[in-house]
Copies of this chain bind each other. A is one copy, B any other.
Amino acid sequence: MSFQSKLHQATQQNNSLLCVGLDSELSKLPDCTRSKDNPVLYFNKHIIDATADLVCCYKPNYAFYGALGAAGWETLRATIEHIPSHIPVLVDAKVGDIGNTAQQYAQMFFEGLGADGLTVTPYMGEDCVAPFLSYTENATFIVCLTSNKGADDFEKKALGTRPLYEEVIARVQQWTEHGNCGLVIGATQPDYFARVRALAPDMPLLIPGVGAQGGSAEEAVSNGQDKKGAGILINSSRGIIFASSGEDFAAAASTAARDLRDELNRHRSTQ
């Protein structure tokens, strides 16, 4: 099933715009996981089991698995395998390289790890994005306007007559012909959502930055949703998965996910 079909299905079934970021940094895991054979996998499985009825997507960031070496790869693969098949998995790796190398990354993430979607950095231009877009069942989310302070350095600066991030959106619209492309727009950038939606009315937006990074859930939904009250994946990582550092970590993650899901839904124009 395609990323888009899974996203639609999970959004409907769980009545949710919430994407849970599985940034399961080993040093931050609850003490009760430390005695397990594979603490990160144990933790992830319990988080997934506790939230699978509340999310529209899961987003593991590759860095937290890569940092664990060869074992991290297997942990990420087994984590993705544990996610119910009707929920899409978007791996956040922000890759970007020339064509023959991009092809290797597409194989790595889409085929080797079984990711439904992947984040890709647009800096190097079209031929570095094209190999991902050719996987028509998978989604490619282009890093566009990010949630961090450094978004001011280049992304918001004028490239010709409009900000670089707008130029990225315009070019991405030209590159995609299979409807399998999305954009990454930080939740800390609410003033820009209306402009993004005007330029890309139908593209799904991955919106990180709610929670630890300070983005407002209300503004992300109110300004980011498409005409159908959907088309957004509001990501929260630390605020959900590290809601408790005790033995109740999974139950606490479930409560935090439910609370945020319900808060997001209160701001949807339609459901």
Contacts and interface: CB of A to CB of B under 8 A. Distances in A.
B151 A124 contact: yes
A86 interface: no
13 contacts: A63-B97, A63-B102, A67-B107, A67-B108, A69-B108, A94-B96, A98-B213, A99-B148, A124-B146, A124-B148, A125-B146, A125-B148, A153-B171
Contact of A168 (B73, B107, B154, B159): B154
A38 interface: no
A123 B122 contact: yes
A148 B127 contact: yes
A228 interface: no
A146 B63 contact: no
A147 B98 CA distance: 8
Contacts of A122: 123, 153-154
A177 interface: no
Nearest to A130: B150
Contact of A154 (B63, B112, B146, B159): B159
A199 interface: no
Each complex incorporates copies of this chain amounting to 2
Nearest to A73: B70
The 3 A-B pairs of least Cβ separation, nearest first, read A125-B150, A125-B153, A63-B104
A129 B164 CA distance: 19
Given A121-B121, A158-B160, A63 B153 contact: no
A105 interface: yes
Interface of A: 23, 25, 61, 63-64, 66-67, 69-74, 77, 92, 94-102, 104-105, 107-108, 112, 121-129, 143, 146-155, 157-160, 164, 167-168, 171, 213
B124 A96 contact: no
A126 B108 contact: no
Contact of A128 (B70, B73, B77, B148): B148
A70 B71 contact: yes
A102 B63 CA distance: 8
Given A61-B97, A95-B94, A101-B23, A154 B67 contact: no
Nearest to A112: B69
Nearest to A145: B124
Given A74-B70, A157-B159, A125 B151 contact: yes
Nearest to A127: B150
A127 B63 CA distance: 16
Contacts of A171: 153-154
A173 to B, nearest CB: 13
Given A63-B105, A97-B94, A123 B155 contact: yes
